[in-house]
Amino acid sequence: MSDEAEQWRLIGDRLRQAREYLELKQEEAADAVGLSRSALSLVENGRRKVDAVELARFAEVYGQTIEALTGTAKAHPLPENVQALARAATELSADDRAELLRFAEFLQTRGPRSADRG
């Protein structure tokens, strides 16, 4: 296997792992990214390359950086409670996920809060 083919296989593996971590079916992820399920399967098996636009869509849908998906940067593990929130958010509608994001942004604007305050 050539170095390039191996690189595409590794990217496909990372994309598959990210999808499975979020508990998305291939069809759900394919719809979100704008691919057919068969095209997504080929990508995950390293038999189809992704372009920059598709890779950006994968990163957005999977909540990861392009660097993490391509292996050009180390992905930092998320705290378990953040991972649980991401898994729960996958079950929400797109509108509800947008509302959840707005709420998270609101909480960030309040600044850090001490757990000791009541």
d(CA 4, CA 69): 16
Best CA proximity match to 2, nearest among 68, 67, 59, 49: 49
Best CA proximity match to 89, nearest among 61, 112, 111, 108: 61
* pLDDT at 118 (0 to 100): 45
* pLDDT at 105 (0 to 100): 83
* pLDDT at 101 (0 to 100): 87
* pLDDT at 61 (0 to 100): 93
Give me the domains of the chain, ranges plus CATH numbers: 1-75 (1.10.260.40), 77-112 (no CATH)
Q: At what angle do helices 26-33 and 52-62 cross, to 10 degrees?
A: 120
d(CA 31, CA 101): 21
**Per-residue pLDDT tens digits for 21-69:** 999 999 999 999 999 999 999 999 999 999 999 999 999 999 998 988 9
**Per-residue pLDDT tens digits for 72-112:** 866 567 788 888 888 888 888 989 988 988 888 888 888 77
Confidence class for position 117, pLDDT limits 50, 70, 90: very low
* pLDDT at 104 (0 to 100): 85
d(CA 5, CA 48): 10
* pLDDT at 115 (0 to 100): 57
* pLDDT at 110 (0 to 100): 81
Cβ proximity of 66 and 59 under 8 Å: yes
